[in-house]
Amino acid sequence: MTKEPRIGRPFKTPEDGERVMLGLRVSADLKRKLDDAATKSGRSQSQETEMRLQQTFDAKAQEEKIIESEKRIIQHVEAKLAEQSEEQKAILREVQEAKDRLLRLIALSEAAR
């Protein structure tokens, strides 16, 4: 199975800091929205589009950081709950032992009468 050759100009890897052309087609409605936003912000259409694209990547990165932070919090809470559970088990054992001692004392007291 051979891969068919790509039609068109080959992709060129941009250099860091270099401004490159990006051609894309959008709906008329989206273009109007971009034009309106660019006019309101005082940016060019290209600057507005670039800023909005960058914001989507920034938002995704921020979302991933939040998810990682939440995972660490959940792990911490689960560890604390496990510690509390062990402490509660130890307390319940102590209570049961004290109860057993009291019952033995009561039994001895009644037997001595």
Average pLDDT, the chain: 90
Supply the pLDDT for residue 67: 95
Give the whole-angstrom CA distance, residue 43 versus residue 64: 29
Structural contact between residues 38 and 48, judged by C-beta atoms closer than 8 angstroms: yes
Based on the structure, what is the number of domains in the chain?
Answer: 1
Q: Quote the domain boundaries for residue 50.
A: 29-112
Residue 106 lies in a domain: yes
Query: What's the pLDDT tens digit per position in 15-29?
Result: 888 888 888 899 999
Question: What would the pLDDT profile of 33-73 be if each residue is shown by its tens digit?
Answer: 999 999 999 999 999 999 999 999 999 999 999 999 999 99
Establish if 68 belongs to a structural domain: yes
pLDDT in the model for residue 1: 60
Give mean pLDDT, residues 84-99. 92
CA distances from 85 to 66, 96, 104 (A): 28, 16, 28
Cα(108)–Cα(113) distance, integer angstroms? 9
pLDDT for residue 38: 96
Q: Does residue 61 sit within a domain?
A: yes
- Tokens representing 71 are 């995972």
In a domain, 81, yes or no: yes
Half-sphere exposure in the Cβ direction for 34 (13 Å, CA): 17
